[in-house]
Amino acid sequence: METLTLSQVSPAPFSIVPKTGSDVIVAMLIEHGVDTVFGYTGASVMPLFDAIFRYNKRIIDAIRREIDDNPFVKNKLQELYMSKNDKNSVETIKKVGAQAIVDTLIEQGVETMFGYLGGVVLPLFDKLYEAPINFIIPRHEQGGCHMADAYARATGKVGVVIATSGPGSTNLVTGLATAMMDSVPIVALTGQVRTSLIGNDAFQEADTTGITRPITKHNMIIKNPDDLVPAIREAFYIAGTGRPGPVLIDIPVDMQLAECSIPPMDKIDMPGFKHHPGGHARQIDTAAKAVNESKKPVLYVGGGVIISGASEELRTLAQKANIPVTTTLMGLGSYDQNQPESLDMLGMHGSAYANYAVQHSDLLISVGARFDDRVTGHLPTFAPHAKIVHIDLDPANIGKNIHTDIPVVGDAKQVLAAIIDKVEYKPRKEWFETIATWKAKHPFTYDKNADIVKPQFVIEELYRQTKGDAIICTGVGQHQMWSAQFYKYSHPRQFITSGGLGTMGYGLPAAIGAQIANPGKLVIDIDGDSSFNMTLTELSTAVMYKLPIKVVLINNGYMGMVRQWQELFYGQRYSQSSLISPDFANLAKAFGCVGITVNKKDQVAGALQQMLAETQPCVVDFQVDAKENVWPMVPAGKSLHEMDGLDIFEIA
């Protein structure tokens, strides 16, 4: 088979400086126009062979880094590959299944994928060997799935993950459920035992489609090789269309080895899979009229606005009609929190001013949010005076938890754009004055005079030093809530967290996925000690791929959020909620990262400075106040305005 050569790909030299002698040899060969080399390896030429491999990879990686500025190169790379693979064929052609899978992934625009090997995916990996796809191997399939998920959240593209049958596919379960709950588009490909063995308890057989049915938007098993390519095309379409979600295709090994038909790319038409992005004109009119009549409106915004890319429309609506905006945890970043209309996050650990505003509002305009119980508190007393407008792409969300007065089924971007045209500016002086009083009286705060390291102080200082410009990923627990309260987000896709499922261990692999998606950006995992313990082996992945992620560990020696509930609701009986952790800084060093320990307040700023200057993956273990709580808090089952903890730091 013809191989992809560097001079074809690279019309001009790229900015890569050779380092070792072998690198120089390879660079000179390329400079002299050598396209193809014949040879056989052995001990004395192994460094050279290694350089040939690395140099190719580095060139391709460099091209990928430069493609943002130079779409020509990107297209060239993929085009060259596809020209060998009959991309534009108008007739059905035949290929071996594994090759067809790889070619269809490339046809779908996949540049990066994550996954782990195993017996029944070896045919597929064999064909991936020479494909122009960045491949990232995690240390555990769960990590790989979270990486694909965060890659998707950071880019808006579909994330792709591969796992083998049995334990490989069951290790994807948490990752798929996480993506499902937060509407993240993923295509997961799993290997399966060959079709003749299915149902026989064969080695590494698990009923993957059965296990993952409730946690995927759609899944299927391939039993006819001719279904393979159409199934992959449909999977991308379903994952990324409408309300996004994970789609899994289970592929028995014999399907990867069989010859299969590749029909020409056609428009995908799936009866029964329809969505209505436009919104109903009369409902849009009614919603706009309600906005114009409202004295005390609030926009309540969820992750749907980020998915839909509707931040600009949201800002225009809020500013044109003069409406305060609060977001859910998933909605953080959809509205610039530095704007005066921002009420920050609402809900169980939301701001007092957001929660009060919702409870006093006469109109609540929900956009791409689903009235989750962590937001609403006691449902019958949620927003008791408000007329409810609910804009959502998924009709199943409307009326699910709460009575809706004005439902609008549609894509947030399109619906908001239509409403903007019909709304008028209203001063709403009294409403904004009341909100300003709440803001002044109940800001997010903590004991700033304490000698001990306060977790909120670490995050505030991180915000200050990064000027609010980092991509933040988190684990789950108190540190996640403090990351939501004390870091202010101004861009969509800037805050990447597991909201719906609340998956501890998400933060580190998510940071890796987000860093791969944004090579030049600062990506920080603000993690809890217990969450970090769940997936910290992925530090090895960060080192292997030279990803300069940073981990800000809020180490309170506890499953802090659990400890807080035990303190408040279980009579301070701290049953099984503390862990002994390793020395995280030394562990980080063992992985090949930079490791720093901080246990004094006056070390915080310096350690963050050092961390931000590092070009390697870096873990800073901030040993913080073990007994700090997240305030305010609406206890489960209470109404949104019944917040505890407000009096603790009330500003007189």
| For ligand TPP, the closer CB: 140 or 479 | 479
| For ligand TPP, the closer CB: 439 or 479 | 479
- Name the site residues for ligand TPP (rule: CB under 6 A): 475-479, 502-504, 528-531, 554, 556, 558-562
Least distance (Å) from Mg ion to the CB of residue 472? 17
SS3 416: helix
Helices (H), 556-603: 560-569, 584-591
Span interacting with Mg ion, options 91-99, 219-227, 378-386, 548-556, rule CB under 5 A: 548-556
**Residue of 108, 556, 566, 597 interacting with Mg ion (CB under 5 A):** 556
| For ligand TPP, the closer CB: 326 or 535 | 535
Cα–Cα distances (Å) from 589 to 91, 381, 596, 607, 616, in that order, read 55, 52, 9, 16, 11
| Neighbouring residues of 333: CB distance < 8 A, sequence distance ≥ 6 | 306, 489, 490, 491, 492, 493, 494, 495
Q: What is the helix (H) or strand (E) element at residue 597, kind and residue range?
A: strand 594-598
**Rule CB under 5 A: is residue 528 a binding residue for Mg ion?**
yes
| For Mg ion, the closer CB: 300 or 584 | 584
| For Mg ion, the closer CB: 125 or 487 | 487
Sort 429 into a burial class: Cβ within 10 Å, 0-12 / 13-18 / 19+. Answer: exposed
Helix H, strand E, coil C: the string for 41-81 is CCHHHHHHHHHHHHHHHHHHHHHHHHCCCCHHHHHHHHHHH
**Rule CB under 5 A: is residue 455 a binding residue for Mg ion?**
no
Cα–Cα distances (Å) from 74 to 6, 153, 518, in that order, read 13, 22, 16
Least distance (Å) from ligand TPP to the CB of residue 562? 5
Least distance (Å) from Mg ion to the CB of residue 581? 9
Least distance (Å) from ligand TPP to the CB of residue 564? 7
Task: Kindly provide the residue ranges of all beta strands, DSSP E only, lying in 134-245, ordered along the sequence.
Answer: 134-136, 159-163, 186-192, 218-221
Least distance (Å) from Mg ion to the CB of residue 118? 34
**Rule CB under 5 A: is residue 507 a binding residue for Mg ion?**
no
513 binds, among Mg ion, ligand TPP, none (CB under 5 to 8 A by kind): none
- Alpha-carbon torsion, ordered 621, 626, 632, 637, to 10 deg: 110
206 binds, among ligand TPP, Mg ion, none (CB under 5 to 8 A by kind): none
Span interacting with Mg ion, options 7-15, 191-199, 308-316, 524-532, rule CB under 5 A: 524-532
The two beta strands, 387-392 and 406-409, are parallel
Backbone angles phi, psi at 95, to 5 degrees: -150, 160
Least distance (Å) from ligand TPP to the CB of residue 574? 12
| For Mg ion, the closer CB: 482 or 495 | 482
Q: What is the C-alpha to C-alpha distance for residues 593 and 596, in angstroms, rounded to an integer?
A: 10
551 binds, among ligand TPP, Mg ion, none (CB under 5 to 8 A by kind): none
Residues 475 and 501 sit within 8 Å (Cβ to Cβ): no
| For Mg ion, the closer CB: 466 or 578 | 578
For the record, the structure tokens of 347 come out as 């809900």
Least distance (Å) from ligand TPP to the CB of residue 249? 26
| For ligand TPP, the closer CB: 152 or 476 | 476
**Rule CB under 5 A: is residue 529 a binding residue for Mg ion?**
yes
503 binds, among ligand TPP, Mg ion, none (CB under 5 to 8 A by kind): ligand TPP
Least distance (Å) from ligand TPP to the CB of residue 169? 19
Least distance (Å) from ligand TPP to the CB of residue 255? 33
108 binds, among ligand TPP, Mg ion, none (CB under 5 to 8 A by kind): none
| For ligand TPP, the closer CB: 192 or 530 | 530
Residues 628 and 593 sit within 8 Å (Cβ to Cβ): no
In the sheet that holds 342-345, the strands lie side by side as 342-345, 325-327, 297-301, 363-367, 387-392, 406-409
Under DSSP, the state recorded for 547 is -
CA-based nearest residue to 90, from 264, 283, 285: 264
**Residue of 240, 560, 617, 632 interacting with Mg ion (CB under 5 A):** 560
| For ligand TPP, the closer CB: 156 or 502 | 502
**Rule CB under 5 A: is residue 142 a binding residue for Mg ion?**
no
- The sign of the CA dihedral 53, 54, 59, 62 is positive
Span interacting with Mg ion, options 239-247, 250-258, 468-476, 525-533, rule CB under 5 A: 525-533
Least distance (Å) from ligand TPP to the CB of residue 581? 9
Under DSSP, the state recorded for 399 is T
CA-based nearest residue to 350, from 439, 259, 452: 439
Residue ranges that bind Mg ion, judged by CB under 5 A: 528-529, 556, 558, 560
